[in-house]
Structure formats: C-alpha cells, structure tokens
A and B are shown apart, each in its own frame.
Chain A
C-alpha cells in the first residue's frame, strides 16, 4: 500500500471539516475524488500535504511505510508526495527556474543525489518543457506572477514532472483549462503514469477523467467518502448529480 488513510478527522478554526475518512491507494493506481463544493476535497489535499492551519484531531495516514502526519510539509514533498494546488500561489521576485532548481535539488539531496547546477538543470528540464509545451519565458518569470489561470495549472504539472513524485494529488487541475491545455495536462499526467506512481485526482468534470481513465472513483461529501466505484460512477454522477447518492448515504 502506498497510502492508507484511516478515520481521518481534521478541523480548521475549530470547525470540523473531515469527519472520518478512509482511503487506500496501491502503487500505480489512479483515484478520482468528486463531490459537491465545500465537501472537504481541498481540505483533504491540504492535510495530506501538511498545511499547518489544519489540525488533525483523529485518525492516521501511512505513506510509503511511514507516519505521514509526523512529517513537515517539505519532508513530505521530499519523500515523494506532491500537491498540484487548486489555486497556485504567486511569488513575486522569485524566478520560476530558481524555484524549481532549488526544489529539485532538495528532493535530490533527500535521495542522496548530487545537486544540479544551472546547466544540468536546463538539460534535465528540457523534455518536460517540451512535454507541457511551456513557453520559455514562463521559466524566467516570477513564480506564477502574471500567469493566466491555465498557465498556473500547467506550471504545477510541470513542477510535478520535474519532481517525479510517488503520489500526485491534483486538486481541480482541470478547472479553467481550455481544450488544448486540458489535453496537454492530461498528456503530462499520462506520461508520468507508472507501476509505482499513484494519483489522486480531484475534479468536478468528466472531461479530464476521459483522458486519464481512473481505476477508482470516490464521492466525498461532508468530510467522508460516501460512495466508491469504478469509472462508471462518473457517468452516473454526470446524469443524476449528487442528490441521490447523498440521500442513499443518510
């Protein structure tokens, strides 16, 4: 098992958001998580990534054989957990390239590899830039500053391609993407698929899932997973919405 979440409960500002969530992910699997606005999908993603505004009040999370909740956010990232944000942050003055070089080297250090200098990094990044058709100037510019919504999302997937994580959590990466960008991002994700790499894809829409064909689909509602199934569940949701499933779960 790559990730085991048991009875996870978490709160923010004393408001409980996650209310006993369970999820198992094996290496190589793709899990889609859908659910109405405010259900707690981003909260789950943030708790897994280690954002300290959230307090875990019960439950456990094992990641690749270790207690994930014991680790700081940077340690989680270095051990192979990656979160593509619903809203990637702008960082004025920090160049995208320096940022990613620093990040890649932090992960390499963890793996006992030598740091990449600027030239090594350029070489290493080359095919990832091509894969995502990143405009070269986006690398020279400040992180996400002045990027369009779609460019920010693509930048996050580019980072994912560079960091080669074990578990990729994508929080609504497909929102706000035009048709071509969606295809690029989907290609990026598919290119990273492997026997050992797993994905959690949070989304509201079928279109990304059509490209990447998840193994499992879960419905998250009110801080819990209330239904799990295969790809067919997506069609069911598209047709009937969440109401029926929510009623059944009560």
Chain B
C-alpha cells in the first residue's frame, strides 16, 4: 500500500481518475444501499492513489493504456438515454440457437429487448445488479469479493461504478439446458459500459452462459465507435456443478474491453470456458481461477484474431489448491499487420495439490513481419507429485501449405484464410456444444472472409 501511495500519477491520468470518481460520486447520490455506497467509496480511494497502470507495471508492459487514459468515457448507466433500438436492429447479434436472452445497450439492461425473466426454466433465477444495489437482500453477493475484485485496476473501476449487470443463480441439482445469452451492444461514442456480474451455480447443477460484446455501427461511424466495456464476473461453482462459458468479443476496432473473471470451483466441479477475441483496439480478458476442492476439472481456451494496430491480451491465473485437479488450456492467436498479442498464463500448484495435472499451450500465427506476440506461460509448483506442462510456439504461416493449395487452383487469400481458420478452429472446437461451437466458428469465418486480414496484392506471385 505504502508503495502505491508514492506512485507518480501523470496529470492526464489524474484528470481521468477524477472524471470517474465524479461519476462514482454521482451514482452514490442515486438511491443505493449503504454497503454499496461504501464499496464504491473505497474503490474511489483506491483509484485516487493507484490511478491506472502504466508501462512500469509488469502486468501491463505490453498493454498500453496511454490512449485509454486520454479518454473521459461517460458512464452510460448514469444517464440512461433512449436508444430506440428495435429487436430487428439487434437481430444480427443474436445467436441462431435457442437461448434465454439478456440484452444490454451501452451497459444498461433493456428489459423490452430481453426475454421475459419471469418465465425462466425451473431452477434458474436472474436478478439484475441495478435492483440488487438499490434494495435487494441479495446485494451481499455483489460485495462478497470486493477486495479480490479491487486487486485488479479495472476491478477497482468496476466497483467504483457498480450499478449494472446481472446475477444468475442455478439451484442445486438443476441442469439448465437452454443457454443464457447475454449481449452488450455499444451504440454511442465515448461511453463506458460497466457490468458487474455474479453467477452462482449450486451443487450438481449445470449452466451454459454465452456472452457477446458487440458494437452497432451507424452509417456515420463506419470507422468504429470509440467506446469502452468494463466487466467483472464473479462465479461460484459448487460441488459437482458444471459450467460452460463462451465469451465472444467483437466490438468495433476502436473499442476498449476489459474483462476480469474471478471463478471459484468446489470439489468435482467442471468449468469449460472459451474466449474469442476479435474486436477492439485494446482488449484484455482475464481469468482468475481458484480450484478450491479435490478432483476439479476445467479448461480455459481462447482464440484471438487481430489486425492493423489492435492489441489483444488474454490471460489466465489458475490456482490448484487441492489434490487431483486437472486444468487444460489452449490459447491461439492470429496476428496480422501490426497487431500485438499478449498471453500471460500462470499455473500455481499449492503444496497440498498433489496429483495435479495442468497443461497450458499457447500457439500463435503471425501473418505479417510487423505483428508481434508476447507470451509468458509460467508454472509455480510447490507440490512434488504433479504433472504440469506449458508450451509456447509462434510461427509464420507455412508457405509450402499455401503453395500446395494454390497448386490446386485456390487463390492465395483463400488459401491463407483456410489455413488460418483451421489454426483457430483447434481452440474453437473445445466448445463442447455443437450449436454454440458452430456459431462461434461462423463468426470467425465471416471475420476472416471479410478479407481484412490478408493482403490481396500478393495473390499472384
């Protein structure tokens, strides 16, 4: 703490901090329960002393916030505006499979666009953050992990602006077949969507959660919308419960995206997650996973596709604390133009976590000489009877493969698209529900086929 008090904060960062503190203060003037106000206020204090990470912070050395700090994003849920979106306009963002749909526009729940939450499958209940902070006795759920959330700079910002998002609860022994699908649409310039989500899955229960982050471009803004999304998800997976999570981030290329997930698993539970990162100028998706029980299984996979000057950051911190845990990870990045990829993965194995089986792979494909990948897989092992491995490989596309396809009449851009897609699909195929897997695969295909990732000027020789 002392050290943090002495950090130098640039005038630019100071201005940004006071902007968000002011927004937080204004939120505090609206009706909210005392504990919530206190939580926000503590976050304000942290913001004031820490501000935002700089290049001197090791965890942020490749993920530069200079640009972010220059913005003063308006907190969308402070003054919710009429957006006038109809279900037709959002249709293209909805999945082709059946789902319980929750739709947020600029970080504000839209009840009219969302499915009716009074007619949910048995065993599933949904409470919204806005109602919880105002009056519900469930508010405790949002505050439980306050310190942990505050351990991340964008967790602090999330707590300071705590007011929107959802809470999902699945009762014991209930398997919810239909996926819950959460959409956040950025529609306005210079806004920040702040979502504080909580998920609780009871003993031996089952849930599939899909989150989709997108931008709706209007004609004047074809270049993209410079807007920000800040999400915190705290997830509690009880004994023998199974959770499948798919997050697809496709915001416009000017967007920002910060998502911190804190996941607690109890014994014999299973967490299968996938992150697809395609959008935003700067995005960071981060899992903090605590395996607090025996015989826990999980898989955390990602596929990131970036071009131009995009920065995609995907990171995991997986803590094995007890025996017989198995964690699997496959993270794949495809980088074109001057895109930068960052992968940071830590597997921690406590002394008590014997028989741990941890595996983490990061594979990257660079489509240009100016793209850059920074990969840092790490193991920290204190038990002696474990099987842990990590691997990392970065390479260019294999020209012999391209030539083989060309020699069969396939154009170079198409050949590159086929090989690139195949590379990403290894990770997408870890999604163990066919309908969702196909939807994600389709989104990647469309992005690749839009042609933006491959130079066509080399089509012949």
Contacts and interface: CB of A to CB of B under 8 A. Distances in A.
A92 B421 CA distance: 11
Contact of A52 (B404, B408, B421, B461): B461
Interface residues of A, number: 34
Interface of A: 49-53, 71-78, 82-83, 85, 88-89, 91-94, 98-100, 102-103, 106-107, 110, 142-143, 159, 163
B408 A77 contact: yes
Contacts of A100: 408
16 contacts: A50-B406, A73-B403, A74-B412, A83-B407, A89-B398, A89-B400, A89-B404, A91-B401, A91-B419, A94-B422, A99-B418, A100-B408, A103-B410, A107-B409, A142-B422, A163-B408
B425 interface: yes
Contacts of A78: 409
Contacts of B410: 74, 99, 102-103, 106
A103 B414 CA distance: 10
A82 B406 CA distance: 11
B350 interface: no
Contacts of B403: 49, 51-52, 73, 89
B422 A74 contact: no
Contact of B461 (A72, A83, A89, A94): A72
Nearest to B422: A93
Contacts of B422: 91-94, 142
A74 B409 contact: yes
Interface string B212-248: 0000000000000000000000000000000000000
Contact of B405 (A49, A82, A99, A163): A99
A75 B412 CA distance: 11
Contacts of A83: 407
Given A50-B461, A72-B460, A107-B409, A85 B404 contact: yes
- In order of increasing CB-CB distance, the 10 nearest A-B pairs are A93-B422, A72-B460, A103-B408, A77-B409, A106-B409, A73-B406, A89-B404, A74-B406, A78-B409, A94-B422
Interface of B: 398-401, 403-412, 414, 418-419, 421-423, 425-426, 459-461
Given A52-B403, A75-B460, A106-B410, 20 more contacts: A51-B403, A52-B461, A74-B410, A74-B460, A83-B407, A85-B404, A85-B407, A88-B404, A89-B398, A92-B422, A93-B419, A93-B421, A93-B423, A93-B425, A94-B419, A98-B418, A102-B414, A103-B409, A106-B409, A163-B408
A204 B98 CA distance: 60
A102 B241 CA distance: 43
A146 to B, nearest CB: 15
Contacts of B414: 102, 106
A159 B460 contact: no
Among B404, B408, B426, which residue has the most Cβ atoms of chain A within 10 A?
B408
A235 B461 CA distance: 41
A106 B461 contact: no
A145 to B, nearest CB: 10
B445 to A, nearest CB: 12
B409 A91 contact: no
Contacts of A77: 406-409
B401 A89 contact: yes
A86 to B, nearest CB: 12
Nearest to B404: A89
A163 B409 contact: yes
Among A82, A88, A89, which residue has the most Cβ atoms of chain B within 10 A?
A89
A92 B407 CA distance: 18
A99 B409 CA distance: 10
A82 B408 CA distance: 7
Contacts of A73: 403, 406-407
B406 A72 contact: yes
Nearest to B415: A74
A85 B418 CA distance: 20
A100 B409 CA distance: 10
Contacts of B461: 50, 52, 72
A71 B400 contact: no
Contacts of A94: 418-419, 422
